[in-house]
Amino acid sequence: MTQAAAPIEFYFDFASPFAWLIADGLNDLATRHGREVTWRPILLFAVFKTQGLPPPMEAPAKRTYLLHDMLRSAQVYGVTYKHPTAFPAVSPLPARMFYAIERADPAMARRFGYATLQAHYVHDRDITHPEVMADVADKLGLKGGDILAAASGDGAKAALRAAVEAATVKGMIGSPFVVIDNEPFFGADRLPHMDWWLRQRVSAES
């Protein structure tokens, strides 16, 4: 029996627009290559602190460039996007809610993660607000109040810490950070590189 290929690991911060810009493309890539995508939201500032890296928007020149590049990249990729009013929306809440949901239903957690990114980068909703996040969960048929309560529990907090530690160990240097069979890729523009690498893997194994 042929062993199923390992899932693609998708490390990202909900505060990163580039995570939204790659989400659909990464799913399409995985489907083409018979892979699943494991979503792993983290807190980028926590990873950077451990790695000794500065915040990505700290330098004025870099911030100006990145803000422009986000809009340009969205046009290149054909992804609906607008700068959120609350930017960057640094908060552990969406990630903790994700992990609270994932314990019972990983597929629903991915839907919640996608809906959260969409709410923030398409509909300009402030995902740092509990009432906004409860509504995102409610719209998926979940009980938002219950998910909020679970997100404040030890299990969700521990899951987020574990994801941050795993991302740090794997050498995460920014969001999104994708790992395929221990091969790392940084940035929303790495999809062609991932596709090439996966095709090389298939050729080498055939």
User: 166 is written with which tokens?
Assistant: 């795993």
Give, as one character, the DSSP assignment of residue 206: -
Query: Could you read off the pLDDT of 27-57 as tens digits, one per residue?
Result: 999 999 999 999 999 999 999 999 888 887 8
Task: Write down the pLDDT at residue 92.
Answer: 97
Stretch among 34-43, 178-187, 197-206 having the lowest mean pLDDT:
197-206
CATH number of this structure's domain 8-205, picked from the four choices 3.20.20.140, 3.40.30.10, 3.65.10.10, 3.20.20.70: 3.40.30.10
151, 96 contact by CB (below 8 A): yes
pLDDT at residue 3 above 80? no
N-term to C-term CA, the chain: 16
Delimit the domains of the chain by residue range.
8-205
Task: Write down the pLDDT at residue 1.
Answer: 40
Contacts of 35 (CB under 8 A, 6+ apart): 5, 6, 7, 8, 29, 180, 198
CA 203 from centre of chain? 29
Stretch among 1-5, 63-67, 173-177 having the lowest mean pLDDT:
1-5
pLDDT at residue 4 above 90? no
pTM listed for this prediction: 0.95
